[in-house]
Amino acid sequence: MDQIYSVADHTVIHLGSLTLEAETILKAARSNTSGVVIHPEDIVKIAEQNMLRAVWFTRVWVFQELVLSRDPWIQYGNLRARWTEVCDLLISPSWDQDSKELQVLADMNSSRGPSRQQFLTLLTSRRGLGATDARDMIFANMGIASDKSSLLKYVQVD
């Protein structure tokens, strides 16, 4: 899977049908596909209570989709906006450090980019998130870890 996402120009993260809350969040990003940009005051609260509670943010395998993608977009219904712009809107120096939802988003966003994180760092940042099979937490994160080659000496991948 890592090869697929790393060569794609764009990756669309489809989170479901368009709701009023999702529209509010996505339309705040300059890149949104509606062409209309709005500036809601309570965008962070709306995101915490809606978008950031989507199951996608807790699934282990989709983490690769995000980390390896060059240009991920978040989409609800037919409306989409760039991941980076949505993160810039929600994660600021003044964000609430006690917000679990924002912490997950910040951890996911910081894992993107040219420098990969070590396996233990990835596991720690994804701790408490879901995997149907506990081995999935190991294998999904191992696929994007900077120290993958040394891990393969000790862990056999099916």
Q: Please compute the mean of the pLDDT values over residues 19-39 and round it to a whole number.
A: 94
**pLDDT of residue 75 exceeding 70:** yes
More confident residue, 105 or 143: 105
- The DSSP-derived string for 33-101 is TTS-----TTHHHHHHHTGGGSGGGGBSTHHHHHHH-SSEEEEETTEEEEHHHHHHHH--TTS-TT-HH
**pLDDT of residue 76 exceeding 70:** yes
**pLDDT of residue 82 exceeding 90:** yes
Is-contact 83 70, C-beta < 8 A? no
**What is the pLDDT of the chain when averaged over all its residues?**
83
Highest mean pLDDT among 1-10, 99-108, 144-153: 99-108
**pLDDT of residue 94 exceeding 80:** no
Residue appearing with tokens 């810039």 = 88
What does the pLDDT read at residue 157? 65
pLDDT tens-digit profile of 121-142? 777 776 666 667 777 777 777 7
For residue 69, how many C-alpha atoms fall within 13 Å in the half-sphere facing its CB?
18
Please state, in angstroms and as integers, the Cα–Cα distance from residue 74 to each residue in 31, 61, 65, following that order.
11, 17, 12
- The DSSP-derived string for 1-25 is -HHHHHH-S-EEEE-SS--HHHHHH
**pLDDT of residue 153 exceeding 70:** yes
Can you read off the two tokens belonging to residue 135? 């081995």
